[in-house]
Amino acid sequence: MSPLKLIDGKVAAAEVLQQVREDVRTLKADGIEPALAVILVGDDPASHVYVRNKILRAEEAGIRSLEYRLPATTRETELLALIGTLNDDPHVHGLLLQLPLPPHIEETRALQAIAPSKDVDGFHSENVGGLSQGRDVLTPCTPSGCLYLLEQTLGDLSGKHAVVIGRSNIVGKPMAALLLKAHCSVTVVHSRSADAKALCQLADIVIAAVGRPRLIDGSWLKEGAVVIDVGINRIDDNGRSRLVGDVDFDSALPKVAAITPVPGGVGPMTIAFLMKNTVAAARQQALSSQSEAVCLSTY
Ligand code: NAP
């Protein structure tokens, strides 16, 4: 296997986190200590692991973290009250609500309660709308990480034809919006697409975010395509449990110019971009409060 074809997400995430640490140092020198609050409701074991990893990465980056682990019985009003308190706290810059929520809490209402300026997951409709208008807003972490990997691999993406497989609010749709903003021609395919494979065969760039193990094999790909595999699927491989992507890595490899492995591709980028978003939110809030102070002092 040519190592040149492998897009190494661990190396790229380390670069992003190094930049984050430098940005945190600069902010601290200006008297701002970036802080990320993470709220977890309920007992989902995977969510507890994700939150622990996010807190650890934040600490490593020098970002203060606040952790709120609430019981599954928490009422929606209690959760909204906590979000409101954190929205109003000038010492908290990023606010993340770990999903999924227990079924009695309405996800959209809870996500919409987060102040857009602190919405480091980029899920608030104000940020979603801003991204679709091509504005610089807080954008979802996984597609932002994918875009970074593509730009590191290909440089300028202008004029490339990108096919995004999947149209979720978390990955597919924001990915398509980011690629449009980067001047790609974008096709989005999904479970109702008439011939997803034929569309994919035309792509210079393929982003697979489906959640179906090895759906996309080499026959879906144009010679020389660059492939970003977002999928994380646990399969039973002759009695051994292991992770595979949405792309059949072995048959794709001879066709592609470059491809992300699973694991070790997109996965590490998501947390790195959460930290990057937290620093961006802290910087933006500091600038806004400075300009508010200037406005007030002119009266
Ligand atoms: P999702 O919400 O389940 O969305 C899956 C999308 O795939 C849907 O839009 C669906 O179409 C489409 N789809 C399903 N079957 C298809 C087919 N046969 N052909 C074409 N499209 C098809 O999943 P998600 O949250 O976007 O996640 C996708 C994958 O990425 C999962 O494996 C997830 O674990 C992984 N993921 C990884 C990271 C990371 O950090 N690396 C982060 C997030 C997600 P419809 O809309 O028509 O149903």
pLDDT in tens, 39-80: 999 999 999 999 999 999 999 999 999 999 999 999 999 999
pLDDT in tens, 115-140: 999 999 999 999 999 999 999 999 99
Residue 112 annotated as catalytic: no
CB count within 10 Å of CB 48 equals 14
Q: How far apart, in whole angstroms, are the C-alpha atoms of residue 129 and residue 287?
A: 22
Residue nearest (by alpha carbon) to ligand 1 atom 41: 267
pLDDT band for position 293 (50/70/90)? Answer: confident
Cβ(76)–Cβ(97) below 8 Å: no
pLDDT in tens, 146-193: 999 999 999 999 999 999 999 999 999 999 999 999 999 999 999 999
Q: Is 267 in the pocket of ligand 1 (CB under 6 A)?
A: yes
Pocket test for ligand 1, best of 148, 191, 192, 260 (most atoms within 8 A of CB): 191
In the chain, the N- to C-terminal Cα span, in Å, equals 67
Residue 255 annotated as catalytic: no
pLDDT band for position 1 (50/70/90)? Answer: very low
% residues pLDDT > 70 (the chain): 97
Calculate how far, in angstroms, residue 192's C-alpha sits from the geometric centre of ligand 1. Answer: 13
pLDDT score for 296 = 59
The token duo for 246 is 């949405």
Pocket test for ligand 1, best of 50, 173, 210, 271 (most atoms within 8 A of CB): 210
- Active-site residue, selected from the candidate residues 121, 229, 246, 248: 121
- Sequential DSSP letters for the chain: --GGGB--HHHHHHHHHHHHHHHHHHHHHTT---EEEEEEES--HHHHHHHHHHHHHHHHHT-EEEEEEE-TT--HHHHHHHHHHHHH-TT--EEEEPSPPPTTS-HHHHHHHS-GGG-TT--SHHHHHHHHTT------HHHHHHHHHHHHHHS--TT-EEEEE---TTTHHHHHHHHHHTT-EEEEE-TT-TTHHHHHTT-SEEEE----TT-B-GGGS-TT-EEEE---EEEEETTEEEEE-SB-HHHHTTT-SEE--SSSSSHHHHHHHHHHHHHHHHHHHHHHHHHHHHHHHT-
For the domain spanning 141-267, the CATH number is: 3.40.50.720
Q: How far apart, in whole angstroms, are the C-alpha atoms of residue 200 and residue 188?
A: 10
Residue recorded with tokens 């990955």 = 171
Residue nearest (by alpha carbon) to ligand 1 atom 21: 190
Residue nearest (by alpha carbon) to ligand 1 atom 8: 166
% residues pLDDT > 90 (the chain): 95
pLDDT in tens, 269-286: 999 999 999 999 999 999
pLDDT band for position 290 (50/70/90)? Answer: confident
Residue recorded with tokens 């730009």 = 151
Report domain extents, the chain: 31-116, 141-267
Q: How far is CA 215 from CA 78, 137, 187, 195, 245, in A?
A: 42, 33, 18, 14, 9
pLDDT in tens, 96-108: 999 999 999 999 9
Q: How far apart, in whole angstroms, are the C-alpha atoms of residue 180 and residue 101?
A: 31
Pocket test for ligand 1, best of 54, 123, 230 (most atoms within 8 A of CB): 230
The token duo for 12 is 């790229």
For the domain 31-116, what is the CATH superfamily, name and number? Answer: Leucine Dehydrogenase, chain A, domain 1 (3.40.50.10860)
- Active-site residue, selected from the candidate residues 98, 160, 204, 276: 98
Residue 54 annotated as catalytic: yes
Determine the distance from the C-alpha atom of residue 55 to the mean position of all C-alpha atoms in its chain, rounded to a whole number. 16
